[in-house]
Amino acid sequence: MPSITYIEHNGTKHTVDVPVGSSVMRGAVDNNIPGIDADCGGECACATCHVHVDAAWLAATGARTAQEETMLSFANGTEDDSRLSCQIDVTPALDGLIVRMPAGQH
């Protein structure tokens, strides 16, 4: 299973194995990792699973969808490396992925 590291805004690291076919959001929620709220449950409808993707992994995680782009535009502290983690599918190529959580999820 691909291993993903989630870094909370306060610096706390959580490294967990997430099954292929799941999403980066689901990996956090299923492992009770704080900092990702996922209010809409993965519908790309709320922007409360916002993460910053580590620079080394930006290419591997792909591009934002149009709806994701729109929702991220309303989130707080959106940067070039921002993604909605429900929109990143977990694949074997993401083994070792690192994402960081923002100060809050709105």
Applying CB under 8 A, the residues found at the interface with another protein are: 37-41, 43-48, 67, 70-71, 73-74, 76-77, 102-106
The helix or strand, by DSSP H or E, that contains position 82, with its residue range, turns out to be: strand 82-84
Query: Considering beta carbons, is residue 7 or 97 the nearer one to another protein?
Result: 7
- Helix locations, 1-106, DSSP H: 24-30, 58-61, 66-74
Return the SS3 of 12.
coil
Q: How far is the CB of 93 from another protein (least distance, A)?
A: 29
Query: Considering beta carbons, is residue 59 or 103 the nearer one to another protein?
Result: 103
